[in-house]
A and B are shown apart, each in its own frame.
Chain A
Amino acid sequence: MSINRLQAPDYTANFSFPAIAPEQHLLANQVPLFVINAGSQALCKIEMVFNAGNYYETNALVANATNALMREGTSNKTAGEIAEILDYYGAFLETAVYKDKASVILYSLNKHLHKTLPVMLDLIQHAIFPEKELTLYKTNQKQKFLVNQQKVDFVARNHFNAMLFKDTPYDQFIEADNYDNLSQAQLQAFFKDRYSGNGMYVVIAGNISSDVLNQVKEATLALNLKTELAAKPYQNNFLGRQELLIEKKDAMQSAIRIGRRLFNKNHPDYFGMQILNTILGGYFGSRLMSNIREDKGYTYGIGSGVASLLHDGFFYISTEVGVDVTAATLTEIYKEIEILQQNKVAEDELNLVKNYLLGTFLRSVDGPFAMSDKFTSIKDYGLTNEFYKAYVNYIKQAKAEDLTLLAQKYLNKKDLSELVVGKI
């Protein structure tokens, strides 16, 4: 068989995407339960989501400590007993805190769910935050923080967030003292307020038999919504460009962050910014990667992103580069942004990015766990599968002119803050 290796095989960009539309049950106690039934292995992921992110804390780290220590003892079981049951039945209990919300997630084989799910339920209902567990947490987490403080990337993330969100509930600058200042009373109060309030919901994904569903329903019904959560207001006062250099005399590489406050998934320019960001720094073939890694070899990696928050959002570029090329990298980053403002993106490149984004979206909805993540990431914004349909349609019809306008509107240097941790 003679083949022409110069010729790429035929391809299509018409993918069919599964709908992110879980089956919904509103239980008698008003807690919504969402079910994504797919997958062949007899196992499941149960995620309970709460309005308990850093946004709501009055002292730094309270949201993190509360979430992490829920598993360290209840009025029924010690930390050791909880760990023993979960480990014995091969379950994984994850706790996670985000800016706006917090989750407790159980991964369990279906056959052991009757042993593992009650443990999860117990800690959500009856966590007590024992003093000795808190003391241990403070010591160990503080040491981790001090180790992280020696990483330019970590220091940059911490400071950059504070630069962008100064004086808002999203400003979560962390210092070593914050660990010492945590108290049991703070955690118990935060738990009482935030883990039994309205707005919580449950998502279950995996191979969901009727038996599994019934167990989760029963467990969810046992949750008692006690408090009516007060909304916390947000003032979106954009600060404009700031510059900061944090010198590390022994650094071999500098961490760079450039970015700004932007908007969230509900904004009409959100989809367009996703495409523009991808072209600039959102994939391996991006302009920043091509120029700064693949052409100049200044870095192991450079990327950019558009992140959504419930009341705000931000755009960022991040990299670690050799200290000798830090200044040169900054110049090249701004140059690439200016090119996007001045010249239309070529059709070939735009097509490639469109297809890449459609393929990426297809990967991101592959399998029940991926679909449940896709669901929780829009649920709080009041969005449904229509959002994803609109996203796919937007990508397909997006025009190069639109992207130039977005670059001119949102990526002006006067609006972009710049942080360097290392040497310049």
Chain B
Amino acid sequence: MIKFERFTLANGLKVIYHQDNSTPLVCMNILYDVGARDEHPEHTGFAHLFEHLMFGGSVNIPNYDEPLQMVGGENNAFTNNDITNYYLTLPADNAETAFWLESDRMLSLAFTPKSLEVQRQVVIEEFKQRYLNQPYGDVWLLLKPLAYKVHPYQWNTIGKEISHIENATMDEVKDFFKNFYHPANAIMVVAGNIELEQVKLWSEKWFGPIPNQHKVTRNLPVEPAQTEARKLVVHRDVPANSIYKAWHICKRNDKSYHHFDLISDLLSNGKSSRLYLTLVKEKKLFTEINAYVSGDMDNGLFIVSGKLTTATNIDDAEKEIDAAVYQFVHEKLEENELQKVKNKVESILNFSNTNVLNKAMNLAYYELLGDADMLNKEENNYASITAEDIQLTAKNYFTSGNSISLHYLMNEAKA
């Protein structure tokens, strides 16, 4: 049970407070309700590029990192399809520095041309390092546009192509800040060895004076239901054939999400999971195989991906994955197996609550989903799922017309 308090400043900033006096630290996590899905289709990769620019100095503080390091703090951030999340930890005695730093960059950035020029280059190198100069690195660049035809999930957080990042202008940077970086579009969590009254005082002092703005209404195109299976075959210079098979599923906030999460655990979480036992150990068709949910706030994907052993035919591999997934449609789960994955979820939730930064991040994310207290209800949400629930969800979503497959094959010369 993660206890917390919640209050909202006059300018719309939501603040969540969680006390943990077992740590000598304080964490501040600020989630901005903006991600790659909010980008213009011709200007993709922008939310992530913008995350880099948030470290390029704010209106009154020329360098974000230095003052934080000076007080013994550390920070990082990430961007995904839905959110941009900034977090820092610092010694509890120096917690006010976090309020000072984060409020200034919520107020306004320095917008220096040099920062834009350099971070553009840094992000292009990141694009190469993570997506282009890696075996299988471009899988998601291929898979997402195959799965999504109109919804912005069709591009990756890094962007569709390097040219979009090359072409970003300072005017766009400023517009983006104006639209998305303001109190009403943020959720702040302060957690750790600090008192509520102190958090209230410093929140008012540093964040209170930031002008309020209206939250931009999100109006994204809805991905139409897919009725015919989609398939893409590519050849690359890689040492093993691999397959990615996906099905469109629900939103993160839908009840069925938990069902898919358990199905993915049943399939591949741990050495007693179904796919590992049958396809890796018994039949030796795959050297590795994984099932997972994308967990997106809009309709997401359920994905099974694996690398094939040399002797395996790619179509046989796909049939085996289909059989394993469609088994949830045709057969009801045994109680014992269901209990196993529920126990695992309970354990994972408990272990993730041992870390104050994890708790802060989770509280912010669940608040965005609707209510931070959902974090405390998760264990029960999973515990109450029945075998019938899972079968019904599987029937609704696991159909061949709703599937996407990517065959990622070795170049012929190498085969």
Query: Chain A: residues with CB nearer than 8 A to chain B?
Result: 1, 3, 5-6, 8-16, 18, 38-43, 71, 79-80, 82-84, 86-92, 107-109, 112, 136, 139-140, 143-144, 146-147, 149-152, 250-253, 283-285, 293-300, 320-322, 351-353, 355-356, 358-360, 362-363, 366-369
Q: A146 to chain B: which residues have CB within 8 Å?
A: 239-240
Q: B239 to chain A: which residues have CB within 8 Å?
A: 143, 146-147, 149-150
B72-A356 in contact (CB<8A): yes
By size class, the interface of chain B is 35 or more
**Assuming the A-B contacts A3-B205, A150-B238, A299-B122, are A355 and B71 also in contact, with contact meaning beta carbons closer than 8 angstroms in the complex?**
yes
Tell me if B129 is interfacial: C-beta within 8 Å of chain A. Answer: yes
Contact of A359 among B91, B103, B124 (CB under 8 A): B91
Residue of B nearest to A141 (CB): B287
B60-A358 in contact (CB<8A): no
B237-A366 in contact (CB<8A): no
- 8 Å CB interface, B347-367 against A: 347-348, 350-351, 353-356
B347-A355 in contact (CB<8A): no
Per the bound structure, the CA–CA distance linking A13 and B23 in Å amounts to: 17
Tell me if B402 is interfacial: C-beta within 8 Å of chain A. Answer: no
Contact of B270 among A12, A86, A285 (CB under 8 A): A86
Per the bound structure, the CA–CA distance linking A150 and B137 in Å amounts to: 11
Contact of A109 among B104, B133, B271, B346 (CB under 8 A): B346
A87-B125 in contact (CB<8A): no
Q: 16 pairs across A/B with beta carbons < 8 Å?
A: A1-B204, A5-B104, A5-B107, A15-B72, A82-B271, A86-B270, A87-B269, A87-B340, A88-B272, A89-B343, A90-B348, A147-B239, A152-B133, A250-B237, A356-B74, A360-B72
Q: 9 tightest A-B contacts by CB?
A: A359-B72, A297-B121, A90-B347, A83-B271, A9-B96, A146-B239, A83-B272, A5-B60, A300-B126
Per the bound structure, the CA–CA distance linking A150 and B99 in Å amounts to: 44
A11-B94 in contact (CB<8A): yes
Residue of B nearest to A38 (CB): B22
Give the interface SS of chain B, mostly helix, strand, loop or mixed: helix
A285-B344 in contact (CB<8A): no
B72-A299 in contact (CB<8A): no
Q: B355 to chain A: which residues have CB within 8 Å?
A: 367
Tell me if B67 is interfacial: C-beta within 8 Å of chain A. Answer: yes
Give the tally of cross-chain contacts (CB within 8 A): 221
**Assuming the A-B contacts A3-B205, A15-B91, A80-B277, are A363 and B25 also in contact, with contact meaning beta carbons closer than 8 angstroms in the complex?**
yes
Expressed in whole angstroms, the minimum distance between the Cβ of B310 and any Cβ of chain A is: 8
Per the bound structure, the CA–CA distance linking A144 and B306 in Å amounts to: 12
Tell me if B117 is interfacial: C-beta within 8 Å of chain A. Answer: yes
B133-A43 in contact (CB<8A): no
Q: A356 to chain B: which residues have CB within 8 Å?
A: 69-70, 72, 74
B133-A139 in contact (CB<8A): no
Contact of A297 among B23, B59, B66, B120 (CB under 8 A): B120
Tell me if B369 is interfacial: C-beta within 8 Å of chain A. Answer: no
**Assuming the A-B contacts A320-B133, A366-B23, are A352 and B287 also in contact, with contact meaning beta carbons closer than 8 angstroms in the complex?**
no
A12-B136 in contact (CB<8A): no
B309-A11 in contact (CB<8A): no
Tell me if B61 is interfacial: C-beta within 8 Å of chain A. Answer: yes
A298-B354 in contact (CB<8A): no
